[in-house]
Chain A
């Protein structure tokens, strides 16, 4: 009903403008060219008016992780090719943003590169929203440094020390004698949160970490800074592997350090890997359910993920996830 009310009001305003324009056109003082401009403007008005006065079309609103943004956008693009009825809107903003807006009831699917936090679940339930989690694919987090830094591997405790501010110089871990410049993401990023929980043991990040907006910015920054270190999704590092030094990572000292290759992540050898999730309000039905089914499909969304450098889910996990759809 609100729809109709605004519809009527926009018609009224439209007529007010056209009426005023007619007044001007009628005046003898107004020259010919100005009348032409007014006619053009009136036509533009009519076009834009008809472009915005239909019924709401967007069926699926999806927001969240910037790591997943390109993936989700291409999912939307490809899905719509085979199912033209669906209209999907996609935005970034970070995993925290997606989950918050799901809780607020503003979107249908939240993309997250980290699992939902417990206080977010509690908040959701207090607003009457039951978040249902779907794993969609696997992603590794690569630790990258500038090519100038000639170390080849790093352990969790060293990484933790660098990112919580206790290790300040590269020579403390076997590198050149340079101060470490630390790059990271902003607090709304799932990658930021995941690293903090998984590697940093919930230490606070150092205050002088440069909070960049996205994975690509971290890659750019580390390439350009002789003393830089950063963390990015594996596909971003792979894209520019010849300009970076991608470190092998080991959890603790006696263990072996591994490179973030697809095989190592899929087998679990590479220690910093995570699932990329999507969350819905309750178990999905209808259009949303069909979309998620396609995302989990081997030849659908999973193929897209693989092409973009993520790791598709093994079949048994796909079957598990499909159970959550009504």
Chain B
């Protein structure tokens, strides 16, 4: 009998250890990055161009490039994703047709990021002739984050209780009017929350942008969506693996990683907080 209790204690400790493992992994990762990069971050670093072979200077164009990329991606992905979700939740009739659509969304989420790069290269860069550009990369990333937008929009729409819709319909609204005026306003904050997560994913992806328009160094800020661009993830990758002077460029890499992490983590945090806030608020 006592042996059993000992065994249970051992097992419980092992389980607790696995929880600790997560915390340790995250802590090591973050501490290493922060300690390496915190010295580099300064206003100058964030607002000046890289100089002298990336060994000095800042990461301004990469930050702008990543931000522009995020904006363009969302401009494309949000409308498509939200309306797809509205269709799937409000209008779709159960059956094989709808099943096919859901299967497609599910699979889109599972495609490896490098295959998206292939698609971007083959379709947007070459076939449509957009060339290596911000817009090719944005379209590619938009298709990649679409499943996330759709999934969170669906969740937000489903959270709205059915009697809201029934009440509006009973009073004579058309389907679209119910959706537009009685469902959407309550679902929209949740949808936008989910799309923030999609946005953070788009900011951090490297493989799709390597083949569709990211460049190592551009002398000026790109001013058109048909230009190549610099982006944080790509610069991190290139400097880490192909840099000519690894030691001298290390500070720049750390700084770039720290900035990228800050952007991504801030967005995730905002999304989590907003989601909890709206969950508590709309307790139907």
Contacts and interface: CB of A to CB of B under 8 A. Distances in A.
A52 B75 contact: no
A220 B220 CA distance: 32
A266 interface: no
Given A69-B244, A74-B52, A216-B243, A87 B76 contact: no
B218 interface: yes
Contacts, number: 143
B161 interface: no
Interface string A86-104: 1111111000000000000
Contacts of B134: 52
B54 A30 contact: no
Contacts of B130: 2
A90 B216 contact: yes
A213 B210 CA distance: 15
B218 A52 contact: no
B218 A58 contact: yes
Contacts of B222: 52, 57-58
Contact of B188 (A20, A73, A106, A239): A20
A20 B82 CA distance: 12
B117 to A, nearest CB: 14
Contacts of A34: 189, 274
Nearest to A101: B132
B224 interface: yes
A32 to B, nearest CB: 13
Given A48-B68, A69-B216, A89-B218, 19 more contacts: A3-B226, A10-B225, A24-B188, A30-B189, A44-B67, A49-B71, A51-B64, A51-B221, A52-B71, A54-B224, A56-B224, A73-B217, A74-B52, A77-B51, A88-B218, A92-B216, A92-B242, A216-B244, A217-B241
8 contacts: A13-B75, A20-B188, A37-B270, A56-B223, A58-B228, A77-B52, A87-B220, A91-B216
Interface of A: 2-3, 6, 10, 13-14, 16-17, 20, 23-24, 27, 29-30, 34, 37, 44-45, 48-49, 51-58, 61, 66, 69-70, 73-74, 76-77, 80, 86-92, 106, 213-217, 220, 236, 239
